[in-house]
Structure 1
Amino acid sequence: MKRLCEARAYSAKPVAACYWASTTDTPELANLTQDINTEIAIIGAGFTGLSAAHHLAKRGADVTVIEAEFPAFGATGRNGGFCCLGGAQAKNAQLDKRYGKVQRLAYRRSEVAAVGLVKTLLAELNLQADTHSSGETLLAHRASDCDSLKNSRAQIKEDYGVEALFHSKSELRQLGMQGPFHGALTIPIGFGLNPRKYAYGLLSSAVKNGGKVFVSSPVIDLKKAGETFRLTTPQGSITADRVIIATNAYAAEDLPDWMAGRFMPLHSSVIVTEPLTPKQIEAQGWSSAQMAYDTRQLLHYFRLMPNRQFLFGMRGGLFSTDRSEAAIQKLITRDFHTMFPAWKRVKIRHFWTGMVCMTRHQIPFIGAIPNLSGAYAGFGYHGNGVAMASYAGAVLSDLVIGGAPNFERPKLLGTQPPKFPLGRYRRHLLAPAYALKYLQDL
């Protein structure tokens, strides 16, 4: 198994102080210690893999999930819990040029469907995932960004079929979103949730419906022999008719070889405070339950959770080392205190990091792996995987089973991601990109 990043990135160290771990128990599951057969094997117990397992098991398929660490170990169990629009980083002009307006609109509506799917799953499975927020609010960190927000409303209406609401700076204070912001735009789609509670609900459903899940069992080799796949782990193996790769940024370059160079891990960091008192909330002027993010390229995202603890995250970071992690922790704390100065003395109880996944064509891939019949993959959600990865898992369940689909897949989501240049050194491309984005944010 060949991985792109430092070994530390795949260890428990970056996620050791994750807030979500304190909110729910990790399911106790067995390691794979024997050779077994299954109809469909899924590598990765994150949103993509667990959603696929849930939908496949409900349809009576013989499905087995194999996880290298514990369920929701990757981005699924360490994200900010924003169930929102997104998944692609490509802008509308790029999508129209490559695929045409019809396909762009089909993709944008799939973003809406992805959020709706998560809402439906929470209700159907009766999951209590600490949901809140009426859509998402984008905050202008520069006065000049307000015109762009206002002008984007017509495009949002065309893409998503909803009316976005602009808020002036004075209105933000009245809405309990006071800070260094010049205006904002609320899109009434999406909500915040506890990602582990949601993910473990999907897992429980898959198992209840006959699915099998094994943990602490990394797949170290994947081979196809005849019509079946053999997945080898340190203590056992799985022989499967079909296989789904659902590892996203934590993927290996050679499982299968087609994955090499087709994904780029990007780092994201999160802090969570102690519970805020009414006095502290009043002092800062942020009492809103809205999930929010700013207009920076290297954005900050944040929300006041139902228990009054404040979550604050940011993009950035190139490598997973003790030194780089310490630098990121210092930077995210500085930015948090700059944006919310009244909370400088509030204790930060949790800090963790993780990796999100980018593709070179800046859209997710959900489809069959070329020249490897029976193999499928879903990855590249660009930091918005709560909804889109869940949707990817549902779409993959359709593709694997065949027949009339239950979930629409816009054609562009089946476009093969081109490889990044520089092979295993491709992360070095991020340094100049981050520098440019930093300058654009000034």
Structure 2
Amino acid sequence: MSAPHIAGRIYEPAAYAANSLEGCYWVQTAPDTASYPHFDGEGTVEFAVIGAGFTGLSAALRLAEAGADVAVLDAHPPGWGASGRNGGFCCIGGAKASSAQIGARYGAAEAAKFHAAERAAIELVSERITTLGLSVDRHSQGELQLAHSPKMFAQMRAEAAKLSATYGTQTDLIAPGDLARMGLNAQGTHGGLRLDLGFALNPRKYALGLAQAVQARGGRIHSDSAVLSIAREGEYHVLTTAHGRLRARHLLMATNGYSSDTVPRWMRSRYLPLQSSVLVTRPLSDDEIAAQGWSSDLMAYDSRNLLHYFRLMPDRRMLFGMRGAVRWTAASHHAHRAATRAHFDAMFPAWRAVETPHFWSGLVCLARDLVPFVGALGQGENAYAAFAYHGNGVAMGSWSGDQMARLAMGQPTDLPNFFQRSPQRFELGPLRRLSLPLALLQYRLKDALS
């Protein structure tokens, strides 16, 4: 299926087409039987949410729970975008800027508030899974960062106590010689640090669970309802789709890496999508797991700037993801699949003959100043947006959507003040994607030297 024509999108049209989800392992684990009729005709709603991923659904759920009249519009069904095709890591994160950079820019109190938000985001997802009774294949108590060099392990050792104090939780330093004994044998790793926060899940099951909860509380979800333009008429935002016009008193933008420079115009150059790709193996046998020596169910990632992220799932398939592609074409997709497989083989050489039948890509979202945004947008009164989680959207996207809904209802929030700044625009405007090859090269050089 071709993508709906929405002006101002900066990737090739194939990135937004329905069939870009092909190859995604999560689709076969959670068929979606719910109905999401496209928006048709004329209508009025109190709150319109654009985007049916973690952010939009979380916002809509908070609104519906408060008894508000809410409608969610998306070009595709819920969880079609990054929310239904990510690695399923519910963990700390959301900013690419370091803790030191955040503290230097915004002050120690703001940095502490951000770290509290990271914890609260994980807790929100956990609470909703429990409260809504969602079956999401949850596993992994905490997360593991593996050092890709002795220098990085020395840095982990120096920062372990500070990290524990920052998040108020236990950290466990794992010496290089203990990795294999703990079922964490990966080539090219030099020790690790486990943080007792977060867990892994099936992201599609979580997204569809949120969608069902929204509908059960009276919220409307419309797929095949791409918003083509937004205009202001008096106190209303008027959202035009291919089949109708929806008037809304409050507008909530939740499109993240699938945003447009023109819907609304305020978004222009304030976000930058970056591809992240994932492969999944067939189920591994006990002998194959023993041969490699990776038997832990901990969600893990390495210390590179262009990190690898991976985990052994409950069905004994290995998931492995990385970033680095800068185009969305058939040739680029084929080349990046080969590159991802080569990195997988290098880290897990005993599995070089293991098939990886599933491979797919999605768009994560960066901000120019490398921190999330949740706040008012310049689209008149009662308009808000939340985006830029820098590849950590399971937790931070869910929490940011919830906070955005609170903003829209005039309720107190727990947002750090800097979340509500006006995001800087990227240089090069609509051509900003041209800066990615150089940025990726710089990160690769940093990784090689660290």
Q: Distance in 2 between matches of 1:94 and 1:286?
A: 35
* Within-5 A mapping of 1:28-47: 28-47=35-54
Q: Distance in 1 between matches of 2:290 and 2:111?
A: 43
Amino acid at match of 2:337: Q
| Aligned partner of 1:393 among 387, 391, 401 | 401
| Aligned partner of 1:354 among 353, 356, 362 | 362
- Give the aligned partner of residue 225 of structure 1: 233
The alpha-carbon deviation at position 68 of structure 1 amounts to 0.5
CA displacement, residues 391-433 of structure 1 (integer Å, 9 cap, x when unaligned): 0111011101113x2x511111111110001011101111111
The alpha-carbon deviation at position 371 of structure 1 amounts to 5.5
**Is 1:271 equivalent to 2:279 in the alignment?**
yes
Partner of 2:87: helix, strand, or coil?
coil
Amino acid at match of 2:13: A
Contact 1:76 1:199 in 2 (8 A): yes
Q: Distance in 1 between matches of 2:109 and 2:416?
A: 10
**Is 1:138 equivalent to 2:142 in the alignment?**
no
Q: Distance in 1 between matches of 2:204 and 2:245?
A: 28
* Within-5 A mapping of 1:315-330: 315-330=323-338
TM-score normalised according to structure 2 size: 0.96
Contact 1:369 1:377 in 2 (8 A): yes
| Aligned partner of 1:98 among 105, 109, 117 | 105
* Within-5 A mapping of 1:255-334: 255-334=263-342
Contact 1:153 1:163 in 2 (8 A): no
Structure 2, unaligned stretches of length 5 or more?
1-6
- Give the aligned partner of residue 118 of structure 1: 125
**Is 1:252 equivalent to 2:250 in the alignment?**
no
Q: Distance in 2 between matches of 1:157 and 1:225?
A: 51
Partner of 1:357: helix, strand, or coil?
strand
Contact 1:133 1:192 in 2 (8 A): yes
| Aligned partner of 2:434 among 425, 428, 440 | 428
Partner of 2:31: helix, strand, or coil?
coil
Partner of 1:198: helix, strand, or coil?
helix
Amino acid at match of 1:78: R
| Aligned partner of 2:415 among 395, 409, 420 | 409
Deviating 4+ runs (over 3 angstroms): none
Partner of 1:307: helix, strand, or coil?
coil
**Is 1:170 equivalent to 2:177 in the alignment?**
yes
Q: Distance in 2 between matches of 1:2 and 1:179?
A: 42
CA displacement, residues 216-253 of structure 1 (integer Å, 9 cap, x when unaligned): 11100101111101100001121100010000010011
Contact 1:135 1:190 in 2 (8 A): yes
**Is 1:182 equivalent to 2:190 in the alignment?**
yes
Amino acid at match of 1:21: V
Amino acid at match of 2:136: A
Q: Distance in 2 between matches of 1:159 and 1:13?
A: 42
The alpha-carbon deviation at position 14 of structure 1 amounts to 2.8
TM-score normalised according to structure 1 size: 0.98
The alpha-carbon deviation at position 75 of structure 1 amounts to 0.6
- Give the aligned partner of residue 67 of structure 1: 74
Contact 1:107 1:412 in 2 (8 A): no
Residues 124 and 358 (structure 1), Cα distance of their counterparts in 2 relative to 1, 3 Å cut: same
* Within-5 A mapping of 1:137-156: 137-156=144-163
Partner of 2:125: helix, strand, or coil?
helix
Structure 1, unaligned stretches of length 5 or more?
none
Contact 1:38 1:239 in 2 (8 A): yes
- Give the aligned partner of residue 11 of structure 2: 5
Report the RMSD for the aligned CA atoms in angstroms: 1.0
- Give the aligned partner of residue 240 of structure 1: 248
* Within-5 A mapping of 1:80-99: 80-99=87-106
The alpha-carbon deviation at position 28 of structure 1 amounts to 2.9
Q: Distance in 2 between matches of 1:159 and 1:37?
A: 46
Once structures 1 and 2 are overlaid, which stretch shifts more, 91-100 or 217-226?
A: 91-100
The alpha-carbon deviation at position 155 of structure 1 amounts to 2.6
Residues 229 and 371 (structure 1), Cα distance of their counterparts in 2 relative to 1, 3 Å cut: closer
Q: Distance in 2 between matches of 1:169 and 1:97?
A: 33
Contact 2:264 2:379 in 1 (8 A): no
The alpha-carbon deviation at position 192 of structure 1 amounts to 0.3
Once structures 1 and 2 are overlaid, which stretch shifts more, 90-99 or 116-125?
A: 90-99
**Is 1:159 equivalent to 2:166 in the alignment?**
yes
Partner of 1:372: helix, strand, or coil?
coil
Amino acid at match of 2:16: Y
Q: Distance in 2 between matches of 1:343 and 1:13?
A: 29
Q: Distance in 1 between matches of 2:89 and 2:98?
A: 20
Number of aligned residue pairs: give it. Answer: 440
- Give the aligned partner of residue 335 of structure 1: 343
CA displacement, residues 126-172 of structure 1 (integer Å, 9 cap, x when unaligned): 00100000110000111111111111213312321123110012211
Q: Distance in 2 between matches of 1:151 and 1:99?
A: 24
CA displacement, residues 317-361 of structure 1 (integer Å, 9 cap, x when unaligned): 111111111110000001101110111111111000011000001
Amino acid at match of 1:240: A
CA displacement, residues 173-195 of structure 1 (integer Å, 9 cap, x when unaligned): 11100112110000000000000
- Report % sequence identity: 43
Q: Distance in 1 between matches of 2:181 and 2:281?
A: 24
Contact 2:266 2:379 in 1 (8 A): no
Contact 2:85 2:361 in 1 (8 A): yes
Q: Distance in 2 between matches of 1:307 and 1:130?
A: 9
- Give the aligned partner of residue 221 of structure 2: 213
